[in-house]
Structure 1
Amino acid sequence: MTRRLIACGLVLTAFAAVTACGTRTPDNASQTLPTSAPSSSSATASSTAPAGNSGAAAPAVKRCDSTALKGEVAPTDAGAGNRYGKFVVTNSGTTPCTLNGYSGFQLENASGAVPTKLERKADPGPAAMTLVPGGKASANLHWGVVPSGNEPVEGPCQPEPSKAAAIPPDETAPLTVPWTLGPVCSGGRIEISAFYAS
């Protein structure tokens, strides 16, 4: 009898030990394993750990905007009523910036906007580039000085601009560029290429 009780005690002890470890039995079928709460040190570490793990990723280079660019329009060629030039921008900032695409371009004078019809040309087309501080990019310009349609043949064909509001690609704020190249005929039609490194 004593042996049976001892044996039964071992079984009960073993049964109790197994049940405490979370084995599913009819008596504890709805129980779940206990979980340990994170220590305060591990919780703090996870909430203050920097995103990106090691921090080795290089910072993203921002787009060139009107605060980082200075612009000018330089004539390049003329003939048979056609005029050619370049809209040149320089990164005047202290960090690199990216440029990719076409500029907006609105002729203006002291009275406000002057008729402008900007036409994009794909020679050259858009290409991503990074301008280091002092780096330059250009966009080709082409316009005409021969009146067309209802434009007057005596005097200027359109109001004479004194400047242009040029908006860098994917931006909204313009930079002001002096325009000293006279009126633009055909309703202010200007062909413009995408920016390219220069």
Structure 2
Amino acid sequence: MASDRPYDDTLAAMQFEMLTIDEEFAGQWVATMRDLVGKQLDHAEFTAERMAALHRWERRRGAAQARLRWKYDGSGTRKRNPELVERDVRAQIAKLRGRLEAARQNTADRRARLEAGTPERPVSPEPHARTNTRARVTPVRDPQGPRRDFDGLEPFLLRMVAECSGLDDLEHATDEEVLRACMVHSHIPETAAQEYVDILNGVDIANQTIRPTS
């Protein structure tokens, strides 16, 4: 049954914080799956560990959402102090307005560039997008320069990095190029992008060990 609760600052604050929680838990689940894939388990072990992790993840997320509903509800049997509810509403509304203002400013900046006749770049909010794109299309490299040694690196891991970064030449790409390419191409934060750089450098993400080199 649909609720007749009107949309006001309290509901806006609760929904915004709910979105934030979901974003955080989505990132946690992606990190869990990366670690699990890195273990190279057989199908039965992989499925068992994945389902166990999923149940734990769902319990934590459910508990977080339950705490959130209580946080903004001043009418239930366990009524929260209205002053505390109002304080948290103000804090979340301030964050929401900050995000909206940043989005409006980004739109205004892009409109100003278009009106000034500045050519529009491929869609990407990352400041290093142009550098990474240029490196992919017309790489300037020394054919005798250093190359990465992929001996012993599982092919599926190499494919993961290629798909994340969008780079065709991983052998000659520097750590910085791979890091920025992953952030731009896959729209992921630097900490997540660093994991793909570590894979290329022979770091076992699951166990944090270094692949031996010949």
The reply to whether TM is greater than 0.5 is: no
Higher helix share: 2
Q: Using CA pairs below 8 Å that are at least 6 residues apart, which structure has the higher relative contact order?
A: 1
Higher strand share: 1
**TM-score scaled by structure 1?**
0.20
